[in-house]
């Protein structure tokens, strides 16, 4: 029996989601862009899904644009916003993100700063980083230092994909509005959407990215929320779907599944946060009591309830992942987007963790199908696996 503890990477489909998607993977296969009855049925399902996602996010339906997932949503948010702003301003600009952003944001900012794709004339937008503290929370003093009226875009994630650290988004947005009043504020809400109140979290945000497969929904579908009055340029062109922002034949089944997963996640988030948080606490507390040389990477009170990011002294993370996998426990050595990387995690480095300490970092992430039995079975094998490596 497999003990799955990698929900931060992806989650199993909820049974209700499978049921909701079933009609659109069978006879109701229509292209939502068509004009006949088969297409009209698909179009209605797509728009119903959009309405549901908008309600979960506390936004208007016209502010929700479907994409292929979080990475595309992040790229549209960053590159699309800069494309529109650069065209409007016609002058060099500055952009700001935190040092712990998901690669889909961080690498896109690096690309922009290097002058690849979105320079104004021969001058690339200046990329500035806001530092974080030892728990991975954005340092408001550092953010204040990199903000000014020349900043056109700020991106700070709702919760970190590696450590699960939740950002004080309201305080961050307030600071941005005061010091960079013309800046568009984007948040990657992919990891936090399962456990946090999205309507509240996104209330002051201009652009947001979300994805289905972290919520018990299907892979390959997500959304970018763009509030009215914010200009975002399309990254590619075609049939004009999603009101011209994201051309391509609509993934109707995916959108329906996405809406179902997000609605369920938001409706049970309080009870699930309590249940999963208790399981996480049991897992971490017992690991720390039974295995010497273990450190939690972040203050647990500032972390998503499903995340447990710990560092095992004198252990190689990749070797531990392999041993645990052989014992039937599926975990991750940090972000799935950087799995197999030999260098220390960029996120941990930004948090001030030294290279040797970061070498043993493991992310356990729990979710809607995790049980107390799963936790106890994992605890039965973790100390032995760590002991073998240390021996």
Contact 287, 148 (CB under 8 A): no
- Candidates 217, 212, 269, 251; CA nearest to 20 is 217
Give the residue range(s) of CATH 3.90.1150.10 domains in the chain: 3-11+269-390
Contact 292, 341 (CB under 8 A): no
Contact 174, 203 (CB under 8 A): no
Quick check: helix, strand or coil at residue 317? helix
Q: What's the confidence (pLDDT) of residue 123?
A: 57
Q: What's the confidence (pLDDT) of residue 43?
A: 93
Q: How confident is the model at residue 336 (pLDDT cuts 50, 70, 90)?
A: very low
Q: Which residue has the higher pLDDT, 83 or 181?
A: 181
Q: What's the confidence (pLDDT) of residue 122?
A: 45
The 8-class DSSP code of residue 249 comes to -
CA distance 262 to 17: 10
- pLDDT surpasses 70 at 155: yes
- pLDDT surpasses 60 at 334: yes
Q: Residues 112-123: pLDDT tens digits?
A: 876 655 544 445
Assigned token pair, 78: 């960053």
Paired with 127 in beta bridges are 95
Mean of all residue pLDDT scores within the chain? 92
CATH of 15-267, one of 3.40.50.2000, 3.40.50.970, 1.10.357.10, 3.40.640.10: 3.40.640.10
- Candidates 99, 83, 162, 170; CA nearest to 132 is 99
Mean pLDDT within 4-12: 98
Quick check: helix, strand or coil at residue 163? coil
Which residues carry out catalysis?
337
Mean pLDDT within 120-127: 64
Contact 86, 142 (CB under 8 A): no
Residue 180, C-beta contacts closer than 8 angstroms, at least 6 positions apart: 96, 147, 148, 149, 150, 151, 154
Quick check: helix, strand or coil at residue 60? coil
Give the residue range(s) of CATH 3.40.640.10 domains in the chain: 15-267
The CATH number given to 3-11+269-390 is 3.90.1150.10
């Amino acid at each position: 029996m497999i003990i799955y503890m990698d929900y931060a990477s992806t989650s199993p489909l909820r049974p209700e989601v499978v049921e909701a998607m079933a009609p659109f993977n069978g006879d109701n296969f229509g292209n939502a862009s068509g004009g006949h009855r088969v297409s009209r049925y698909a179009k209605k399902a797509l728009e119903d899904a959009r309405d549901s996602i908008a309600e979960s996010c506390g936004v208007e339906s016209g502010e929700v644009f479907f994409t292929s997932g979080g990475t595309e949503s992040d790229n549209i948010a960053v590159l699309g916003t800069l494309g529109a702003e650069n065209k409007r301003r016609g002058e060099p600009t500055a952009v700001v993100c935190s040092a712990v952003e998901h690669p889909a944001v961080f690498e896109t900012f690096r690309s922009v700063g290097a002058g690849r794709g979105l320079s104004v004339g021969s001058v690339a937008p200046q990329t500035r980083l806001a530092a974080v503290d030892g728990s991975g929370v954005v340092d408001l003093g550092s953010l204040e230092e990199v903000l000014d009226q020349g900043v056109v875009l700020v991106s700070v994630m709702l919760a970190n994909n590696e450590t699960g650290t939740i950002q004080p988004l309201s305080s961050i947005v307030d600071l941005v509005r005061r010091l960079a009043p013309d800046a568009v504020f984007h948040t990657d809400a992919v990891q936090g959407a399962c456990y946090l109140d999205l309507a509240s979290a996104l209330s002051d945000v201009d652009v947001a990215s979300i994805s289905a497969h972290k919520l018990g929904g299907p892979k390959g579908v997500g959304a970018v929320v763009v509030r009215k009055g914010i200009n975002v340029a399309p990254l590619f062109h075609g049939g004009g779907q999603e009101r011209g922002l994201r051309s391509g034949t609509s993934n109707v089944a995916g959108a329906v599944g996405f809406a179902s997963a997000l609605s369920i996640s938001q409706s049970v988030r309080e009870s699930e946060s309590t249940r999963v948080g208790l399981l996480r606490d049991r897992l971490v507390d017992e690991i720390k009591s039974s295995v010497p040389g273990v450190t939690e990477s972040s203050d647990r009170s500032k972390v998503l309830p499903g995340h447990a990011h710990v560092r095992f002294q004198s252990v190689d993370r990749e070797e531990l992942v392999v041993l645990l996998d052989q014992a039937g426990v599926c975990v991750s050595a940090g972000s799935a987007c950087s799995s197999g990387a030999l260098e220390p995690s960029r996120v941990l480095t930004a948090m001030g963790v030294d290279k040797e300490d970061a070498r043993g970092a493991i992310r356990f992430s729990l979710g809607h199908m995790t049980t107390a039995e799963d936790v106890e079975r994992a605890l039965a094998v973790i100390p032995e696996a760590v002991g073998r490596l240390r021996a």
